[in-house]
Amino acid sequence: MDTSNKKAPSISFELFPPKTETGMEKLKLVVAELNKLDPEYFSVTYGAGGSTQDRTFATVDWLREQGIDTAPHLSCIGTDKGEILDILERYLGQGIKRIVALRGDLPSGSGLGGLGELNFANELVALIRQTFDDAFHIEVAAYPEFHPQAESAQADLDNFRRKVESGAHGAITQYFYNADAYWRFLDDCQQRGIEIPIVPGIMPITNYSSLARFSDACGAEIPRWIRKRLESYGDDLSSIQAFGAEVVTTLCRQLLDGGAPGLHFYTMNQSASVLQICAALGITNGENAS
Ligand code: FAD
């Protein structure tokens, strides 16, 4: 098949700011490997209430020093508007053009109870657009399997539309392993007149217990057939990883073949599984050979 005119899917990678120097040194190697795939950008998470602020800045600073397109995440809950604007000015000065705008979750027991100047992501998006116009490309979070605190599926879709109407340019989804949830979400968005690109977030499967814990907390479903197989491998990490790579590659292929605008990988600061999945998809330096 002649693939010369085939548009390469946009890929991007999420990193979290390491806690230690050793973690940072490891991350540099991971970024060097992943950067060979010519991603559109790397995003860097941010702890709600500014809990990882300095580490996020350090990671963003290093990426920018390497000339890498970087999208810092910014959560608004528990943070003053003035502080948010200072952070955005800092990023603007660094030539950053993309922000992932979030509400965030305050750690339980933090005492702030969600009360503050900005309580939902749509308010943060509006603040960024009102203050900086189009200086930043704003990504927001989308939940094909619905946000765990949403009143109802309909309310969550309406809240998502509010973020888009406030000025979001694109969205990245929570991860999922059931492509139908994503297609149905896109249909619902289309019916609501939402036209921004909604890029699926992809979580490689490398470790069952941490994935199960995390999925319970964020409301992402691990389908029973996947869960049961992963459970059956026990401590056999190489079987978990081989099966995980097969499942996630198949999911990515379905998504790209069905017209998803790109893939955003939750790398968990590891390169091996992402590289394996991208190689299986035929994605090498930004080209799609499939
Ligand atoms: P919102 O869009 O504000 O929605 C939160 C909940 O409130 C939803 O249930 C929604 O339906 C409801 N809601 C929204 N607006 C209203 C309204 N006006 N009135 C009533 N209800 C409303 N967390 C971090 O702390 N740091 C990160 O770096 C980070 N990165 C993420 C990246 C991605 C791609 C995703 C998908 C999630 C990320 N998260 C991160 C997690 C995120 O902060 C949590 O899922 C959080 O609970 C919701 O954030 P949100 O921006 O989606 O919130």
Q: Measured from the CB, is residue 153 less than 6 Å from ligand 1? A: no
Does the pLDDT of residue 162 top 80, yes or no?
A: yes
Which H/E stretch holds residue 165? helix 153-165
Contact 46, 72 (CB under 8 A): yes
Taking residues 64-88, what's their average pLDDT?
A: 96
> Is the model's pLDDT at 2 over the cut of 60?
no
HSE-CB of 196 using CA atoms within 13 angstroms? 23
**Residue 33: in which H helix or E strand, if any?**
helix 21-35
Q: Model's pTM, two decimal places?
A: 0.95
- The amino acid at residue 50 is G
Give bridge partners of residue 11 from the DSSP assignment.
Answer: 263
Residue 59 near ligand 1, beta carbon < 6 Å: no
CATH of the structural domain 10-204+262-270, one choice from 3.30.70.2190, 3.20.20.220, 3.30.360.10, 3.40.1800.10: 3.20.20.220
pLDDT, mean of residues 65-71:
98
274/34 Cα distance (integer angstroms): 8
User: Known catalytic residue: 21?
Assistant: no
Residue 216 DSSP SS3: helix
- Distance between CA 221 and CA 215 in Å, rounded? 6
Establish whether residue 31 lines the binding site of ligand 1, counting it when its CB lies within 6 angstroms of any ligand atom.
no
- Ligand 1 centroid to 8 CA: how many Å? 29
**Tens-place pLDDT, residues 202-235:** 999 999 999 999 999 999 999 999 999 999 999 9
CA-CA-CA-CA dihedral for 107, 113, 117, 121, to nearest 10: 60
Query: Residue 50: what pLDDT?
Result: 75
Q: What confidence score (pLDDT) does residue 285 get?
A: 73
Strand partners, 140: 101, 171
102 close to ligand 1 (CB < 6 Angstrom): yes
Q: Which atom of ligand 1 is nearest to the CA of 139?
A: 34
| Order of strands across the sheet that contains 170-173 | 198-199, 170-173, 137-142, 98-102, 70-75, 41-44, 10-15, 262-266, 201-202
Percent of the chain with pLDDT strictly greater than 90: 87
Determine the pLDDT at residue 4: 45
pLDDT of residue 289: 45
Confidence of residue 186 (pLDDT cuts 50, 70, 90): very high
pLDDT digits (tens, 9 = 90+) for 8-59: 789 999 999 999 999 999 999 999 999 999 999 999 999 987 778 999 999 9
What's the average model confidence in pLDDT over 272-277?
A: 97
Integer angstrom CA distances of residue 83 from 36, 50, 199 = 35, 10, 29
Which ligand 1 atom is nearest residue 121's CA? 3
Q: Describe the crossing of helices 208-218 and 224-232 by its angle, rounded to 10 degrees.
A: 150
- What's the whole-number mean pLDDT along residues 115-142? 95
Determine the pLDDT at residue 232.
96
Contact 8, 286 (CB under 8 A): yes
- What is the residue with the minimal CA distance to atom 43 of ligand 1? 104
Look at residue 3 and tell me whether its pLDDT is greater than 50: no
Residue 7's pLDDT is 62
Helix 81-93 with 121-132: angle, nearest 10 deg: 50
Residues 152 and 144 sit within 8 Å (Cβ to Cβ) = no
User: Which helix H or strand E contains 66, and what residues bound it?
Assistant: none
Mean pLDDT of the chain: 93
Closest-lying ligand 1 atom to the alpha carbon of residue 119: 3
Q: Ligand 1 pocket: which of 98, 120, 138, 266 to mutate (most atoms <8 Å of CB)?
A: 120
Token couple for 168: 């979001």
If pLDDT is split at 50, 70 and 90, which confidence band does 107 have? low
CB-CB contact of 64 with 74 (8 Å): no
**H helices present in 36-120, as ranges:** 53-65, 81-93
From the candidates 14, 123, 139, 145, give the one annotated as an active-site residue.
Answer: 14
Q: Is there a contact between 290 and 2 (Cβ–Cβ < 8 Å)?
A: no
Atom of ligand 1 minimally distant from the CA of 163:
2
